[in-house]
Structure 1
Amino acid sequence: MKNESSTTTLYQVASAAGVSPATVSRFLNGTAKVSDDKRRAIERVIDELNYKPNLLAQSLKMGSTRTIGVLTQSLESGYFNRAMVGIEDAVKAAGYALLIMSGHWHADEEAERVELLIGRRVDGVAILTGNMSDQQILDFSRRVPIVAFGREVQGERTQGFCLDNYRGACDAMEYLIAQGHRRIAHISGPVDHRDARARLAGYHDTLAKHGITADPRLVGAGEFDESSGLQAVNALLQANLRFTAIFAANDLSAYGARLALYRRNIRVPEDVSLVGFDDLHSSMYTTPPLTTVRQPLYEVGTGIGRRMLAMLGHEQPAEQVPGLSLIVRESVRLV
């Protein structure tokens, strides 16, 4: 058999670990469970001998490229980047690497990128939200396993899951109302975005639950970015609408809202309270630190990775959908 590396062979690893070459191969390929004792022995020898498997040879033998395609929407977004770190951490121990492409929220571009990933013979595709239809995803899954975050699509080779955006929005609104706020503005997300619709519904339903009449003029259109948050709050202020708090549909919108208030010498939280949604890393460093709904994005990523590994035949523990939580900082005051 050809050497797996220039200095150490698979047979040498097996001999030093006191196991068969087939056991080492199963351990490296993840094709069958290896006992804890044997796993520890193999890992120790691999570390001691600095063994480097020939991944190309393994791929050719198994008909696998050991790559997972990831369709994100923006490579610049801290939201997506945190999830991608989680995916990478989940799959790298099994010898997989990521091939990442972005779709920029355009369904046609997303479909084109998935075609490119499949053309590069990825073993599976992880989709981070987007605007492709469920049927498109199911059609692609006939060719490659797919895990899709942000939708409920399910199929023979498709797994989808969502976070409870509606519950998260309700929690944010409950907190604002508990602090005495009644005139609460909302910066929405894109009208065609599932998560944005769920957060808007949570806004309206929580107001109704407390007998607060919703003022449609207090809902500003946003696009999940800083500039639309800035523009939405500028429009509210130019219309001379009265409000004591803003619930932004995501943290980026909240950053833009904060700038709009600052330029009008409106203080946060002394004059207007502000709540976001996502808990991006930078939100703890805004002035003041932003109260927000935390999406466990890293855990979402590891969940995607583990689901993908399970679909590819690697034994994995059952995955639970992580929950959202309200992170209270300093951007809300009692009125």
Structure 2
Amino acid sequence: MRPSSIPSLLIRAAFLAAVAGPVCAQSGREPGMGTGRATGMAIVSDERGDTLSILSPDLKLVRTIETCARPRGVHFSADHASFYVGCADDDTIAIYDTASLELTGRIRGVPAPETFDLHPDGRRLIVSNEEDATASVIDIETGELLAEYLTGEEPEGVQVTPDGRLVFVASEAANLVHVIDLEAEAVIADILVDTRPRRFALTPDGKELWVSAELAGIVDIIDVETLKLVGDVPFLPTGFRAEQVTPVDLEISADGQRAYVALGRANHVAVVDVPKRKVIDYILVGSRAWGLALTADQSRLYVANGLSDDVTVIDTRSLRALTSIPVGRVPYDILIDDR
């Protein structure tokens, strides 16, 4: 594994600069301060509907926005004034104003963006490019391609460490987690994990990286300091065969005590005691539970159900589903504007 060659990088950078649309204007707020006008709305990317579904705090669908081709990963800017949408079939990252939900810019020429993470500096996006088997680093303000790293086939999950030095990228087809050192500008490790790694969650202390392994039906746990596997958590809800349990997204609570894992075609969310690495409950949701998002107060968990075209909302105190809300076709990822 190695960074792309300099000539290739320069060509791609020039292309991006030439075709990038207008980039979202700066809000004038310091990164991390928030907008001060959080709406409580949830934003859902509908992968096959080419839409964004907007859910109100009282759990109703209030708006559907036509967007780009095959919207997948979504992420807020550092101050939450904007959010980014990965448009996999348009080779574009669309930029929206959070308050108005208006399209304010596009970063073009980003090959098949699937998911991405925002660097702590608030300026760089690290993007998994599914069709190119690369991870790219993009300057949000200019649209410039800053760096590109080769990965295994079908990269998906991306996670940046809180200090901004390391980036983890999951390669679904290679069963690897690639570790990129942004300061050294190199891939420094390829960690073999279980079958088809998809998404990540860091514990709040930054010491453990949890990785969903979709076709193994487990979550692998990596020690961030040593970059070694140190444990796993298997899943098997009652009434399901092992091959039906396909974990994808996962969230760890702010206090580090609970993890929530979407179990895909098993149609449940697993609740895990993080310190004990033990499943404490399974919650029935819609068909093919996929993307997850926790509210800022940790009281509700939103679940995107990709095959029933709805979002289930779970009360995390009672660990029971409150409702399921119909959205667009094949909901993929979720943001909640409550910070």
Normalising TM by the smaller chain, what interval? under 0.3
Structure having the larger proportion of residues in helix:
1
TM-score (norm 1): 0.26
TM-score (norm 2): 0.26
From the CA coordinates, give the structure whose radius of gyration is larger: 1
